[in-house]
Chains A and B, each alone.
Chain A
Amino acid sequence: MNRFPLTLALTLAPLAVAAQDTPELIVYTYDSFVSDWGPGPQIEANFEAICDCDLTFVGTGDGAAMVARLQLEGTTTDADIVLGLDTNLTAQAAATGLFADAPADVAAPQLPVEWDDPIFVPFDYSPFAFVYDTTIVETPPTSFEELAASDLKIVIQDPRSSTPGLGLLMWVDTLKGDDAGALWEALSDNIVTVTSGWSEAYGLFLEGEADMALSYVTSPAYHIIAEEDETKAAAIFEEGHYLQVEVAGALAGSDQPELAAEFLRFIATDGFQGVIPEAQWMFPAYPIDLPEGYAALNQPETSLLLSAEDAQARRADALAIWRDALSQ
């Protein structure tokens, strides 16, 4: 007797019926990538114009959970490509054995750091940074120490549930290593709160709950270009900024391996990269002409990035230090 609502929901659910004639490429990504304002719809149109295929983006919630999602589905997954992991999570993803090597002829990306990952193809990047309102913060801090010594209020993300949160954790870990605890303790009176995702943190910052939010060097570009608001800027730290490099990878179990390879090559082209700056609000991973608003961005001179293996190896210790320091 409980069947009824289940069947109801089942029949009314738009079941993914594969189009029979044209091959379908299924790409798992996070929700905001496929939203109307994200880059997904335009990239889909651009790729379908050249591939004679049906590209389907499947938004699977948020980025931090994508690896877990894949592990849950295992080899039964329908996905051909996973797009939107960052380098702090790729070692774990590669270790699942679910991924195939990228085709050898994918162009080399232009990133502020060396790139030689055999599996994953980067599609965009940005240094993490604390974004502030220039009408409120007159002299932004130039280091973590200055930030900790100031009475500026910041909002950050929880590294256990959010990729920027994890990025900040690795940033501090890269700079301070096992002494990170002292810095986190010094920062604790600056931290208004720790949110579960980027959206909440940035939303709170825009609502005036904090002076700064952990976000991206590229975040002000959104305000400059889309809102003609030049009051948001990223504070540049002299010691350097940790990068978020977002990548895509093809699954070994894909029933469309050639199409998947074609898509990975497509990432390096204008049809993909051209959409990134004004929909994803990140730097493209391959050189293209950037929109004017990007010229106004503050940019760090030094970029930091742990290798995927090191990031994976350091994560548990860095998390424990973070948690202990902020639990005092």
Chain B
Amino acid sequence: MSKYLALLIAVLAHSCSQQNEVMQITTLEKHSFDEVIEQHLADASTWPEFGIERANEMIELFGMAELGGAIGQRAQRRVNRLGNNEIQHALLLIVETDKQNTALRRRAYSLLANRDWQSSNRFIPRLTLRLKYEKDWPSNIIIARALANVGSLAGIDAVKSILLNSGEDEIDDLDLAKSLAAEFISELNADHDNFEDNWQHLQLLSDVWDKVHAFQGVTTDFNQEYQDELWSLVAQFRSQPLRPVDDARFVFIRLEQQAMTVLAAAASDSNRYVRDHCLQTLTWMPASSQVAYDFALKESLEVLENDFYSSVRAIEYRGSLMDKIQADFLWPFIENGNYEQRTAAADALLRCADYSVARIDALLIDQRFSPEAQCSLLLLRDELRGSEIVIPRISGLDQNELTRRLRWQQQRQALATDYRKQR
């Protein structure tokens, strides 16, 4: 009888161990995070409170000041008494509110672009958002100029786009936009006359901006008022309607790299949506991901990866660092994570590019991988084998998802090539 008992116990023990093996899923906790945004907004400076009527009065005052004579001098004295915040708020209110009067908006943008704001640059985020909504092309060029004056090349794509436009698209005031753009790129190149040289110079600036979000000509003053504005912007991630969230993301991915430190700090906010969107925004901009990592995420990322709500985004963010060193952190999620974590980790592994073919082959036997994860692992395996990349045919894989993964792989390869060149 003892023989049967031993057999039974052995069978039970074996089946239990098998179950444990299958179910050994990475434990996720609902962590408690700090009220990071509230702490920063508590003492933050705000914009003056006045409406569009006052803003229109102010822009008229600017017009009168330009007239000269006694009236002009009086108006100029009144202009001189206005604070930078008041003027900026008035001009921004006009461009945000007046949809019909293109000439008035152009004038408001020009006033923003033609003034030396010194370190008073809190208007950068609000003006950057105009790139999303301003339809008038000459205005877009003026916005680009105003931003460049304070260290942001966020508007450079609009400038390139207008200069490359051959007139096939029907654009109002195309000639004016082109001449403003040509003038602007000449200013960027220390007022050189040769258009070709200026264009080449623009391309160089644009390449650097794309890679590290820094403008070699002017550094943005990272002062307290500017930071306050960034914290107000990141607070929009809490919004339930998506439009404010998307506006904030639009601005952040166009800001210079110091702004990423705000996203890095806010990624540990108590609001799950804020954490999610901070990590997501950083993931979209590999150029600045590293800045955020070095600033705060190196310490907080592991907590976020094990948080019930933020795990997948945190793993995804790790992939955006495109660094082999990160691969070791991903492995536990690939082996023991839940379905979503495994997808994020496989994607991140593709972006970080490490691990042996054999280990990936062993993974691919596991049927619990999503089509997206299988795609990432197959692309990486082929690359590690040194064989030509074969577009994987995977049931249930959306074409768009395949394209994204091929793009990640190409981005990382391009980065590696750049790195080798630099060395």
Q: Do A and B come from one complex?
A: no
Name B's A-contacting residues (CB within 8 A). none
Task: Identify the A interface with B (CB < 8 A).
Answer: none
